């Protein structure tokens, strides 16, 4: 891999880590298309899940106590049903199909975010404490599935957070704690069943310092910038990333 390609991956990892540290999601949404296209291998997904673990180690020890316990537990249980199906799909897809899937998923998520931000998609809010158990388990299962396939646990959790109108800090604690569990489980699955090559571990180690820098900056920004501005920035990045993935796959 040449220096220019690595620099592009490093910037994507740092920026994605920064955004996720600030608002609780978007690491995979931003970094996955860049890593897939640059590495030209499905092992990019394996690299991505490992560098997510680096961020989790930095953030979760200070956050997990603030996450709603019952809601978190139900999400964890639900995710266990999604992991094996996600790994099976990951191993069956070729690189072009994987990249296209990333691109179209990003654009679909961007459309949903845009509709919600402009008020055209109204989601009736209920308290997270009264959320039906079945809906939480399904959300957990879909999140586990998407983490195993694309390392993109964000979309279903963002929908859940919008549905419950959860405040930013509570949402951030829940998202990052739950995602950390997903990253650990998916890393174990890839390492034991998915055939994770040594090169993937090496690339992840090389990108880790950039994740540390991005995470540190994102933590500081989380208390200084409004959530609305972050959502607008993420929306633009998601659209760009989705189009980039689709165009690059042809």
Query: To the nearest 10°, the Cα dihedral for 224, 222, 204, 39?
Result: -80
Q: Which two tokens stand for residue 75?
A: 């999400």
Q: What pLDDT band is residue 95 in, cutting at 50, 70 and 90?
A: low
* DSSP label at residue 104: H
Give Cα 209 distance to the centre of its chain: 19
User: What confidence category does residue 197 fall into, taking pLDDT thresholds of 50, 70 and 90?
Assistant: confident
Across the range 35-44, mean pLDDT stands at 86
For the whole model, what pTM was predicted?
0.79
Q: What is the mean pLDDT of residues 21-30?
A: 80
* Two structure tokens written together for 240: 């760009």
């Amino acid at each position: 891999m040449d220096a220019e390609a690595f620099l592009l991956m490093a910037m994507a990892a740092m920026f994605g880590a920064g955004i996720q540290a600030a608002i609780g999601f978007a690491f995979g949404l931003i970094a996955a298309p860049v890593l897939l296209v640059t590495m030209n291998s499905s092992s990019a997904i394996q690299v991505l899940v490992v560098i997510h673990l680096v961020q989790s180690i930095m953030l979760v020890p200070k956050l997990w106590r603030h996450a709603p316990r019952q809601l978190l537990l139900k999400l964890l249980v639900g995710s266990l049903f999604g992991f094996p199906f996600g790994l099976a799909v990951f191993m069956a897809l070729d690189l072009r199909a994987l990249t296209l899937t990333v691109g179209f998923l990003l654009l679909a998520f961007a459309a949903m975010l845009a509709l919600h931000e402009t008020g055209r998609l109204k989601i009736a809010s209920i308290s997270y404490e009264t959320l039906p158990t079945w809906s939480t388990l399904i959300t957990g299962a879909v999140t586990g599935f998407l983490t195993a396939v694309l390392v993109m646990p964000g979309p279903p959790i963002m929908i859940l957070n919008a549905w419950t109108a959860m405040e930013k800090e509570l949402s951030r604690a829940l998202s990052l704690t739950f995602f950390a569990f997903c990253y650990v489980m998916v890393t174990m699955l890839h390492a034991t069943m998915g055939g994770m090559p040594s090169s993937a571990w090496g690339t992840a180690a090389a990108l880790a310092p950039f994740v540390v820098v991005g995470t540190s900056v994102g933590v500081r920004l989380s208390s200084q910038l409004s959530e609305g501005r972050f959502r607008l920035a993420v929306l633009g990045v998601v659209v760009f990333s989705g189009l980039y993935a689709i165009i690059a796959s042809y």
